Structure 1
Amino acid sequence: MRHSTQRFPLAGIFLIGAALFGLSLSFAISVGAVSVPIDTVWGVFFNRMGLSDAEPTWSAGRAAIVWEIRFPRALLATMVGAGLAVVGASLQAVTRNPLADPHLLGISSGGAFGAVAALLHTGLFMGLLTVPLMAFLGALMATAMVLGVSRMASATSADRLVLAGVAVSFVIMAGANILIFLGDPRATHTVVFWMLGGLGLAQWSHLAYPLVILLLAGAWLWVQSPKLNAMTIGDETATTLGISVAKFRLSVFVAGALITGVMVAFSGLIGFVGLMVPHIVRMMVGGDYARVLPVSALFGGIFLLCADIAARTLMAPEDIPIGIITGLIGGLFFIGVLARR
C-alpha cells in the first residue's frame, strides 16, 4: 500500500460528512413502516432532551417509535459502521493488504461464535455484559487462530494472511452452525436472523457498551497513527524506526478484535464495511492514518445508516437483514478492487 497525498481539505470533508450524517440520521429515523415527518423527529428529540418547552403536536405512539425504536437503532448503526471501518483501515495498515477486513480475516466470525454460544448455551451469566464479553473472546480466539495458521504455514505475505483468515472463518462458522444445530430450536430463528446482521434489537440501555469501546479502542488506534503509517511502508522500515513490528501488529489485532467482537454482539455479522470505507476515504484524504481513521469512522457510520435505510425500505414493511445489503454492495466492491489490483 502506498501513501498518497491529501486530495481535499480535511475541514471541508468533515463539514460535508457532518451534513451527510445529519441528513442520513434524519432520514433513517423518519422512514419505515410508519412514516414520521422529519420536523416531528427532531421535535421529539428536543422534547425528550429537555431542550424545548413547546407543546407536543405528535401522538404518544409516534414519539415512542422515534425515541424508543428508531433513535437507538440509528445510533447503533452509526457506531457499528464507524467501528468496523476503523478496524478495517487499521488491519489494512498492519497487513499491508488492501483487502484486509475484520469479516475476511475471520474476526467477525469469531465474534459470532462467541455470541451464539452465549445466546444458546451459556446463558447471560454476567447480565448484559455476557454477549459482548463472549463475542470479544470469540474474536480474540479467531485472531489467535489466524496468526497461528499463518505462522504454521509460513504465510507471511499479505495475500496469504487473508487466505488464512478466510480458511479460519469457514472453520469457525462451521462451529457456530453446530452450536445453532444443538441449541434450543425455539431460539435458533432469532439467532439465524442475527447472524445475517440486524439492528432491530437496539435499545438505549445497550448503547453504552459499543460507544465506550469505540471511543477507547478507536482513540488508541488513532494515537498509533505514526506507527500505522510506518507499517504501510514495510516491516523493515518500521523496524528501523524503532517499532517492534510483531508486538505492534498483535496489539492492533487485539484492539480490532475488541471493537469487532462488541459490535458483532449487538448487530450480528455485517461484512465488508471495513473493506470499502477505508478505500473510499483514502481517495479523499490520502494515506496518513491521522486523517484516515477519523474520516473512516465518520463515513463508516454514514454508510451503515444508508444501508439500514435500504434494509427497511426495499421490502417494507419487512426488514431485510442488513448483512445482506452490505454483502451485496461489498461483494461488488471487492470484485472491483481485485480487478484494479
Structure 2
Amino acid sequence: MSLNLPLPPTATSRTVVLGALGAALLVAVTVAAGAGQLHIPAGEVVGSVLHRLGLDLGTLPSHPQGESTLWQVRFPRLAMAVLVGASLGVAGAVMQGVFGNPLAEPGVVGVSAGAALAAAAVIVFDLVALGQWTLPVAAFLGGLVTTVAVYLLSRDGGRTEVVTLVLTGVAVNAMAGAALAFLMFLGDTQAREEIVFWQLGSLNGSRAEQVLITAPVALVGIAVAILLSRRLDLLALGDKGARHVGVDVERLRIASIVVVAVLTAAAVAFAGIIAFVGLIIPHLMRMVVGPGHRALVPASALGGAVLLVLADLWARTAIAYADLPIGMLTSLVGGPVFFWLLRRARRTAGGWA
C-alpha cells in the first residue's frame, strides 16, 4: 500500500496549524484540570499556576482542597497524559515514515506486546525487586528487549527489509501474545484482572515522580525524531533512491526504530497499553500539515497530547465516581475514525495501490 498524499501546505499554514494545536492543548489542560468531582473554575486554575510562578495575577482556588487537588492529583495526571499522548503520536509518525505505510503503528515492532508480557510476569509472579517501580521498569525493558529481538531476527546479510521487519514483528507479537495468555492461565483471578486492566490503559494514580522519570525520556525521543525528520522525508524515494542522495538507510532505520521503541516503552510503562493514538493521530495531522516530517512530527506530538488529555477527561467524568480505562475510550473513538480514513483513502486513490 502506498501513501497517496496531497500537496504539502505552505510554511505559513503549517505554522498556523501548530500554533492552533498548541493553543488547543493549553485550553484542554486548563479545562481538564478544573473538571471532576471537585469543580475548579478555569480562572482559579490559571491563578494557581501563576501563583506558583510568582505572579499573583489571578484568583486562587476558593475550595480549601483546591490547591492540593490541582498540584498533587490533577496536574501530574495531565502532565502524564501530555507526555504519553505526544510520545505515541510521534512514534506513530516515525513508524509510518520508516515503513512508508499508513497502517504502520508502534506495536508493529513488538514493543507493546513485550511490555505487556513483562508487566504480566511481574503481576503473576508477584515480583517486587524494585518495589513500586518494578512493574513500570519491567514494562519499559520488556518493550525494548522485544523490539531489539524483532530487529535482530529480521536482519539478513547485514540489511533489514521493511517487509521482513513487518512479518517478523507479526510473528514475535503472536508469540508474545501466546506467552501472555499462558501467564494469565497461571495467575489467579486477581492477577488476571490486573493484567486485563493494565492492558486497557489508565492514567489513574499518576504521580509527580513518575512524570519526572517519563519526561526526560519522552522529550529526548521527540527531539531525536525531529532531528531525523528531514532524512525520513527522503525515505519516500525508496531505499535505492534514498541511498542515491546520500542517506544511510540502514542506520536511519535503526535510529528510527530505537526512537519508536523508547517513546512507546516510556508511554506504556506507567499508563499501560493505549491503542490507536499512534495510528490515528499521524493520519489526521498529515491531512492538515502535509507529509513533511519537520511539521508532521511536532504536529503529531501536539495532536496526540490533545487527544489523550481529552480522552482522560472523558475517562474521569463520564461516569460519576468511576475511572474508565483510557485505552478503551481511545479504541472506541479511534476505530470509527480509522474506518473513515480508510474509506476516504480508497475514494481518493480509486482503490489500494
- Aligned partners of 1:284, 1:57: CA distance in 2, in Å? 38
2:288 aligned partner, one-letter code: M
Normalised TM-score (structure 1):
0.88
Normalised TM-score (structure 2):
0.85
DSSP-derived class of the 2:215 partner: helix
Note closer, same or farther for the CA distance 1:175–1:49 as it changes in structure 2 (3 Å cut).
farther
Note closer, same or farther for the CA distance 1:253–1:124 as it changes in structure 2 (3 Å cut).
farther
- Aligned partners of 2:76, 2:155: CA distance in 1, in Å? 42
Alignment match, 2:238: 234
1:90 aligned to which of 89, 94, 101: 94
- Aligned partners of 2:289, 2:57: CA distance in 1, in Å? 42
- Aligned partners of 2:47, 2:73: CA distance in 1, in Å? 16
C-alpha displacement at 1:328, in angstroms?
A: 1.7
Alignment match, 1:313: 317
2:201 aligned to which of 197, 200, 219: 197
Note closer, same or farther for the CA distance 1:215–1:127 as it changes in structure 2 (3 Å cut).
farther
2:8 aligned partner, one-letter code: T
* Unaligned 5+ runs, structure 2: 346-351
5 Å-filtered alignment, 1:40-189, equals 40-52=44-56, 56=60, 58-121=62-125, 123-126=127-130, 130-147=134-151, 156=161, 162=166, 164-183=168-187, 186=190, 188-189=192-193
Deviations 1:206-226 (A, max 9, x none): 101221011112111111112
2:127 aligned partner, one-letter code: G
Note closer, same or farther for the CA distance 1:48–1:303 as it changes in structure 2 (3 Å cut).
same
Alignment match, 1:291: 295
Alignment match, 1:5: 8
Alignment match, 1:265: 269
DSSP-derived class of the 1:60 partner: coil
Note closer, same or farther for the CA distance 1:44–1:177 as it changes in structure 2 (3 Å cut).
farther
Give the conservation status (yes or no) of the 8 Å contact 1:112–1:265: no
Q: Say whether 1:252 aligns with 2:243.
A: no
1:326 aligned partner, one-letter code: T
Give the conservation status (yes or no) of the 8 Å contact 2:128–2:134: yes
Deviations 1:32-77 (A, max 9, x none): 2332222222233333444338885523323222221111111111
2:227 aligned to which of 213, 219, 223: 223
- Aligned partners of 1:55, 1:6: CA distance in 2, in Å? 42
2:30 aligned to which of 26, 30, 50: 26
C-alpha displacement at 1:115, in angstroms?
A: 3.0
Give the conservation status (yes or no) of the 8 Å contact 1:111–1:260: no
Give the conservation status (yes or no) of the 8 Å contact 1:103–1:271: no
1:36 aligned partner, one-letter code: I
Note closer, same or farther for the CA distance 1:110–1:43 as it changes in structure 2 (3 Å cut).
same
- Aligned partners of 2:306, 2:220: CA distance in 1, in Å? 21
- Aligned partners of 2:108, 2:131: CA distance in 1, in Å? 30
Give the conservation status (yes or no) of the 8 Å contact 2:87–2:218: yes
- Aligned partners of 1:189, 1:85: CA distance in 2, in Å? 28
Percentage identity across aligned positions? 35
Give the conservation status (yes or no) of the 8 Å contact 1:2–1:233: no
1:6 aligned partner, one-letter code: P
Note closer, same or farther for the CA distance 1:41–1:53 as it changes in structure 2 (3 Å cut).
closer
- Aligned partners of 1:55, 1:77: CA distance in 2, in Å? 26
* Unaligned 5+ runs, structure 1: none
Give the conservation status (yes or no) of the 8 Å contact 1:213–1:259: yes
Q: How many residues align?
A: 339
